[in-house]
């Protein structure tokens, strides 16, 4: 068994911009990117939307840096009662999404996933 170090860590977290939900629950509304070498972090705040964990999707053909790819995460808007697939540029997660794809039905929070390329 071997282990590789990772410079970047991505995780869902909670900011104060999420309005209180009724009933109260443990949810996240921000995707956080931590640079383990510098200690700096950037984030993508979704306001009152709920976000699950993000899966890293490398760019086709590989990338030039460890964060050269996309983050794919399911979100849920409790007001609109709608789930989306959110795609962020992993290098610049604080920027607007690369894409937001509306799901035909609600995706339950807590869904875990990975990205596996074909071939």
3-state secondary structure of 88: strand
- Residue 112 annotated as binding site: yes
Reference 71, options 7, 118, 8; nearest CA is 8
Phi/psi for 27 (5° steps) reads -135, 165
Cα distance between residue 10 and residue 34, in whole Å = 6
Cα distance between residue 28 and residue 3, in whole Å = 29
Structural tokens at position 83: 């789930």
Residues of the chain by 3-state class (helix, strand, coil), percent to 5: 0, 35, 65
Task: Please enumerate, by residue number, every residue annotated as part of a binding site.
Answer: 112
Task: Please enumerate, by residue number, every residue annotated as part of a binding site for Fe cation.
Answer: 112
């Amino acid at each position: 068994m071997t282990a590789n170090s990772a410079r970047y860590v991505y995780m869902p977290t909670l900011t104060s911009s999420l309005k209180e939900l009724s009933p109260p629950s443990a949810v996240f509304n921000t995707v956080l990117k931590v640079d383990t070498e510098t200690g700096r972090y950037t984030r993508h705040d979704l306001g009152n939307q709920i976000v699950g964990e993000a899966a890293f999707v490398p760019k086709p053909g590989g990338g030039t840096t460890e964060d050269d790819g996309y983050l794919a995460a399911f979100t849920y808007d409790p007001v609109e009662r709608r789930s989306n697939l959110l795609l962020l540029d992993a290098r610049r997660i604080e920027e607007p999404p690369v894409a937001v794809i509306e799901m035909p039905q609600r995706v339950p929070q807590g869904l875990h996933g990975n990205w596996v390329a074909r071939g």
